[in-house]
Amino acid sequence: MPGILVVAEQHNGQLCDVTAELIGAAVTVKSRIGGPLRVLVIGASVNPLSKGVALAGVDEIQTVQTASDHFDPLVYEQAVMAAASQDKPFLILIAHTANGTAFAAGVAARLGAGLASDVFGLDVEGELIATRSAYRNKVAMELDFPGKDVVVLTLRGATFAPAEQGGSAPVSPISLLLGAIKGASSHIEYQEPTSSGIDITKAEFILSVGRGIQNKDNVQRFEALAERIGAVLGCSRPIVDSGWLPKAHQVGQSGKLASNCQLYLAVGISGATQHLFGMKHVPVIIAVNTDLGAPIFDVATFGTTVDMFELADALERHFN
């Protein structure tokens, strides 16, 4: 029985929402793949984390005890290899996050596995089919993995329905000699980013600004505009790197996922891949950029090349 292995993602000892989504995705194909569904929990807080992944459809929870909940890609890679060598799963599911992508390819290479990243569709039609974007998100591409005994997929967050509560899977520890892992890091401390009192992951309407805002003096104007129209102010990475807004506002692969957003107004954002990761799943995206060739228009529901400041003038008059 080949089965499925899900690698739980946790941050500083707290399970990330994407873990339940990974398990939910696994449950949808479990009966057609065959074998058990196992969840691998890695960290110092394995007991509480294990309780959090005991969801419906999970057959076994495997744990690797580490000295710290700090993420180390080499430790995760070795832990997954230990679990895969022991149980020989056919499908390994990992979150498509900064952490997940740091070790997924290494695992696939060592196993000689098929690999697909940023997967947003999963099906079994006699064989496993993974769907991901291609050509700058202009097409959805279906991939199969002929001749592969194991497949590693990183799944896009806020895409698959999370697994339901009600599981009661047994917990099995896996022994791993952490001291034998060459290059493993030693965690000193975790510093929380400065809080700004907002939670991008829970916002339903986001007005996000990018390089087109030109200078820091304009941030306050768009912050006030966001409040006026009932939106939460988001931004792309250059705005945070410039120190114009706290990191809590950043949407993207190294920021936050707009998990609950239904309307995303992108103003002066070109649409780099890292930013699109955090918002391209939103049902309605409105892009405002004077560059008609900006990648943001590839994922936008509606778009305009009007000057962002002229748009701000119009919105301020309308919502005055």
Binding residues for FAD: 211, 236-237, 250-254, 268-275, 289
The residues that bridge with 208 in the sheet, in sequence order, are 234, 266
Q: How far apart are CA 282 and CA 262, in angstroms?
A: 6
112 conformational bin, left if phi > 0, alpha if psi -120 to 50, beta if neither: left
The binding site consists of: 211, 236-237, 250-254, 268-275, 289
Q: How far apart are CA 90 and CA 84, in angstroms?
A: 9
Query: Are 207 and 95 within 8 A, CB to CB?
Result: no
CA distances from 81 to 99, 103, 271, 297 (A): 16, 11, 35, 40
In DSSP terms, 287 is beta-bridged to 266, 303
State the Cα–Cα distance between residues 244 and 218, nearest whole angstrom.
Answer: 10
Find out whether 256 and 158 touch, Cβ atoms under 8 Å.
no
